[in-house]
């Protein structure tokens, strides 16, 4: 038997070589098909003139850097010293001596979690060399003097995008997981990867955007957004959903939730086990939610003011008509919170502030001076570029989706490049990513107003600087009790920015800081036992978010029960539960309604956009 082992080994090697050869022949053929598909799809309509104003930004950066050559030499010397230290460490380790890493990935950086990045000397050297260089580039750019605030922010952001793109994890020969998979599968992963790439090119009409999830695994109203309820009102801009009660008695004052229209409302109702809406009904609230329309050519004249009058104000009137209740409590999430605050200021101006007895803001900004990385996309050059894309009267959903993906490129772009193209895997069915890719369009007039007046000019926080419904808006006239939720790692509505909300109103405010980011910081069901939150009950005025946090108390788990205690005291006595099918307004259809099911077509045959 032992005499046959070399023959068997030889035969296995031959078979393996044959499989490799066959797979790499497929790779060659598919590579040609990928290139052909890409070239054929590159029509002039796909080409934007420097869409991110990157060239101008880096031209300004280089001019400022060259004005101080001594600083450049000093920075280069520091980098050379770092390389020498790294080489010395590598030499020590090669001789079997212990050498602690000179640089390590930041907490939360998932790119280098494979053991090979630490245990294999070659890959450990590649990793440290990359991290060292990336950090040096980013610090050098951040240290350039003479740039205006906006150009500096853009330069730092684009530099981070570049260094993230150059990560060794993104390339075949420098990713140990990919190399291992290639050997194990005899190159089959690359065959599947090219198939995935070709499918993406065809799906996106030549724009290489990797698929994030298996979109066939989910359907709104079937296995997500399934909390029972009815659509009791609708107009051109929204449907108003009333959810079925889950308790025999409910609080007298209904709860109206105004979600952002940049994404769809069902982030609050993904699955039963993490649905905020379902949980609220279980706490005894009569829950109403605005489901915004996915705009198309019919909505080109809709403005920010339209979202107030046809959105929040229309919802308040419909709730009163259906339940007889004029007084409500409200929630505004993200831009929905910006709209809610604007609406409350309008109601205060016309003497009807008492319609809203308590308001909660989820990750909502009212002062945009420190509005995070999105400020990169709100200077005049970029806004004009965005406006040039709204030829149909609206911004296509794919544009906003691409912008938000850039804010977290490692998680929302490069991780899928590695998974789909290099490892050749199919994207995992994930409800959150399905929601993330369910894009919405933006009416031109509304979107330009929002970018210019909120982000660029920061007018909402200035008394009387904005006029809505013929009324100058002044947030300081709002006396309604306010609960403010912020998230510690939110890159869209940073804690520092949201903290400023505590200083804008005349009434009592309570701030609560949640762990995690813009989504997970909000959607954190108590049963999950995840993350933490911070509260501060000291009766003090704080100048900065850092001062508030220094005095705050940390609590394990979800903040929802804490908020429930706050809201329940402001929701009135208990009354018999309200059946949405038996209200004074005749139900139109079952929740989640039809508006939320309208998908923005991310790529059309002719010009890359459209809506159905």
The CATH number of the domain holding residue 286 is 3.40.50.1820
Least confident of 339-348, 393-402, 436-445, 532-541: 393-402
pLDDT digits (tens, 9 = 90+) for 332-361: 999 999 999 999 999 999 999 999 999 999
Specify whether 233 is located in the same domain as 135. Answer: no
Instruction: Look at residue 426 and tell me if it is in a domain.
Output: no
* Percentage with pLDDT > 90 across the chain: 66
Instruction: Look at residue 360 and tell me if it is in a domain.
Output: yes
Instruction: Look at residue 587 and tell me if it is in a domain.
Output: yes
Of 73-77, 155-159, 287-291, 435-439, the range with the highest mean pLDDT is: 287-291
Is residue 407 within 8 Å of 374, Cβ to Cβ? Answer: yes
> For position 10, what pLDDT does the model report?
63
Distance CA 370, CA 374 (A): 10
Rounded CA Rg of the chain = 27
Specify whether 174 is located in the same domain as 321. Answer: no
Mapping DSSP to helix (H, G, I), strand (E, B) and coil, where does residue 123 land?
helix
Q: What's the gap between Cα 411 and its chain centre?
A: 11
Is residue 557 within 8 Å of 526, Cβ to Cβ? Answer: yes
Number of domains in the chain: 2
Q: Is residue 607 scored above 60 in pLDDT?
A: no
Specify whether 177 is located in the same domain as 31. Answer: yes
Distance CA 379, CA 397 (A): 20
Out of 204, 221, 244, a domain closes at: 204
Specify whether 122 is located in the same domain as 243. Answer: no
Is residue 366 within 8 Å of 460, Cβ to Cβ? Answer: yes
Q: Is residue 29 scored above 60 in pLDDT?
A: no
Specify whether 192 is located in the same domain as 243. Answer: no
Out of 204, 238, 258, a domain closes at: 204
Cβ neighbors of 22 (< 8 A, separation 6 or more) are none
Least confident of 55-69, 363-377, 442-456, 541-555: 55-69
Mapping DSSP to helix (H, G, I), strand (E, B) and coil, where does residue 388 land?
helix
CA of 24: how far to CAs of 28, 191, 192, 563, in Å? 6, 8, 11, 58
Instruction: Look at residue 219 and tell me if it is in a domain.
Output: no
Q: Rounded to two decimals, what is the model's pTM?
A: 0.88
Distance CA 244, CA 288 (A): 10
Specify whether 165 is located in the same domain as 95. Answer: yes
Q: Is residue 303 scored above 90 in pLDDT?
A: yes
Q: Is residue 14 scored above 70 in pLDDT?
A: no
> For position 25, what pLDDT does the model report?
59
Q: How confident is the model at residue 609 (pLDDT cuts 50, 70, 90)?
A: very low
Cβ neighbors of 278 (< 8 A, separation 6 or more) are 227, 243, 246, 269, 272
Out of 204, 220, 239, a domain closes at: 204
Specify whether 460 is located in the same domain as 327. Answer: yes
Instruction: Look at residue 376 and tell me if it is in a domain.
Output: no
Distance CA 22, CA 7 (A): 22
pLDDT digits (tens, 9 = 90+) for 438-495: 999 999 999 999 999 999 999 999 999 999 999 999 999 999 999 999 999 999 999 9
> For position 20, what pLDDT does the model report?
53
CB atoms within 10 A of CB 449: 16
Specify whether 233 is located in the same domain as 198. Answer: no
Continuous segment of H or E residues that includes residue 251:
strand 249-251
pLDDT digits (tens, 9 = 90+) for 262-281: 999 999 999 999 999 999 99
Beta bridge partners of 574: 251
Specify whether 93 is located in the same domain as 185. Answer: yes
280 included as an active-site residue: no
pLDDT digits (tens, 9 = 90+) for 490-519: 999 999 999 999 999 999 999 999 999 999
> For position 1, what pLDDT does the model report?
43
**Pairing status of strand 287-292 against strand 255-258:** parallel
Domain that holds residue 95: 22-204
Residue owning tokens 């939720």: 485
Instruction: Look at residue 611 and tell me if it is in a domain.
Output: no
Across 248-256, average pLDDT = 98
Distance CA 176, CA 123 (A): 7
> For position 212, what pLDDT does the model report?
92
Count of residues in the chain: 612
Cβ neighbors of 280 (< 8 A, separation 6 or more) are 255, 287
Q: How confident is the model at residue 250 (pLDDT cuts 50, 70, 90)?
A: very high
Specify whether 261 is located in the same domain as 341. Answer: yes
> For position 199, what pLDDT does the model report?
87
DSSP secondary structure, 302-351, as one string: --HHHIIIIIIIHHHHHHHHHH----EEEEEETHHHHHHHHHHHHHHHTT
Residue owning tokens 């959150």: 432
Q: Which residues of 29-50 are buried (b: 16+ CB within 10 A; e: fewer)?
A: ebeeebeebeeebeeeeeeeee
Phi and psi at residue 222, in whole multiples of 5°?
-105, -55
Q: Which two tokens stand for residue 106?
A: 């930041």
Specify whether 185 is located in the same domain as 141. Answer: yes
Instruction: Look at residue 11 and tell me if it is in a domain.
Output: no
Is residue 361 within 8 Å of 501, Cβ to Cβ? Answer: yes
Instruction: Look at residue 296 and tell me if it is in a domain.
Output: yes
Across 559-569, average pLDDT = 98
Phi and psi at residue 331, in whole multiples of 5°?
-130, 135
The larger pLDDT score, comparing residue 142 to residue 15, is at 142
pLDDT digits (tens, 9 = 90+) for 440-454: 999 999 999 999 999
Is residue 158 within 8 Å of 52, Cβ to Cβ? Answer: yes
Q: Which two tokens stand for residue 2?
A: 């032992």
pLDDT digits (tens, 9 = 90+) for 202-213: 887 777 789 999
Cβ neighbors of 63 (< 8 A, separation 6 or more) are none
Per annotation, catalytic residue among 244, 334, 339, 407: 334
Specify whether 174 is located in the same domain as 250. Answer: no
């Amino acid at each position: 038997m032992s005499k046959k082992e070399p023959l068997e080994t030889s035969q296995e090697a031959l078979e393996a070589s044959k499989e490799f050869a066959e797979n790499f022949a497929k790779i060659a053929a598919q590579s040609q098909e990928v290139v052909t598909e890409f070239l054929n799809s590159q029509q002039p309509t796909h080409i934007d003139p420097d869409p991110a104003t990157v060239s101008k930004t880096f031209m300004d950066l280089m001019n400022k850097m060259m004005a101080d050559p001594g600083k450049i030499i000093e920075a280069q010397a520091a980098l050379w010293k770092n390389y020498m230290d790294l080489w010395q460490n590598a030499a020590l380790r090669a001789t079997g001596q212990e050498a602690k890493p000179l640089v390590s990935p930041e907490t939360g950086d998932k790119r280098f979690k494979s053991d090979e990045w630490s245990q294999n000397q070659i890959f450990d050297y590649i990793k440290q060399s990359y991290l060292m260089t990336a950090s040096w580039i980013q610090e050098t750019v951040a240290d350039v003097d003479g740039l205006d605030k906006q150009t500096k922010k853009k330069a730092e952001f684009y530099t981070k995008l570049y260094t993230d793109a150059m990560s060794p994890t993104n390339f075949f020969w420098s990713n140990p997981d990919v190399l291992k998979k290639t050997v194990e599968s005899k190159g089959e992963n690359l065959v599947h990867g090219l198939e995935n790439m070709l499918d993406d090119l065809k799906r996106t009409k030549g724009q290489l955007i990797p698929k994030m999830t298996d979109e066939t695994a989910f359907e709104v109203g079937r296995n997500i957004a399934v909390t029972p309820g009815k659509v009791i009102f609708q107009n051109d801009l929204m449907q108003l959903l009333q959810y079925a009660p889950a308790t025999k008695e409910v609080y007298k004052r209904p709860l109206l939730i105004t979600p952002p229209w940049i994404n769809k409302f069902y982030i609050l109702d993904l699955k039963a086990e993490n649905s905020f809406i379902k949980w609220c009904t279980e706490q005894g609230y009569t829950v109403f939610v605005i489901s915004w329309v996915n705009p198309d050519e019919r909505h080109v004249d809709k403005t920010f003011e339209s979202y107030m009058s046809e959105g929040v104000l229309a919802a308040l009137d419909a709730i009163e008509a259906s339940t007889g209740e004029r007084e409500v409590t409200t929630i505004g999430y993200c831009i929905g919170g910006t709209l809610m605050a604007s609406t409350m200021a309008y109601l205060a101006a016309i003497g009807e502030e008492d319609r809203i007895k308590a308001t909660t803001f989820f990750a909502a900004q009212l002062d945009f001076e420190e509005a995070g990385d999105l400020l990169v996309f709100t200077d005049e050059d970029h806004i004009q570029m965005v406006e040039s894309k709204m030829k149909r009267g609206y911004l296509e959903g794919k544009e906003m989706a691409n912008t938000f993906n850039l804010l977290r490129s490692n998680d929302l772009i490069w991780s899928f490049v590695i998974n789909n193209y290099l490892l050749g895997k199919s994207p995992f069915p994930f409800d959150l990513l399905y929601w993330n890719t369910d894009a919405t369009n933006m009416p031109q007039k509304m979107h330009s107003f929002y970018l210019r007046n909120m982000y660029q000019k920061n007018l909402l926080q200035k008394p009387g600087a904005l006029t809505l419904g013929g009324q100058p808006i002044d947030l300081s006239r709002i006396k309604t009790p306010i609960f403010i939720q912020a998230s510690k790692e939110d890159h869209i509505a940073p804690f520092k920015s949201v903290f400023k909300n505590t200083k804008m109103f005349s009434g009592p405010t309570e701030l609560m800081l949640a762990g995690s980011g813009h989504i997970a910081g909000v959607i954190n069901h108590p049963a999950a036992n995840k993350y933490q939150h911070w509260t501060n009950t000291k009766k003090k005025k704080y100048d900065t978010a850092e001062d508030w946090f220094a005095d705050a108390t940390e609590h394990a788990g979800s903040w929802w029960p804490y908020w429930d205690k706050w809201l329940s005291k402001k929701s009135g006595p208990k009354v018999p539960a309200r059946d949405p099918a038996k209200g004074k307004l005749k139900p139109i259809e079952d929740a989640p309604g039809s508006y939320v099911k309208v998908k923005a077509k991310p790529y059309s045959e002719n010009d890359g956009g459209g809506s159905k």
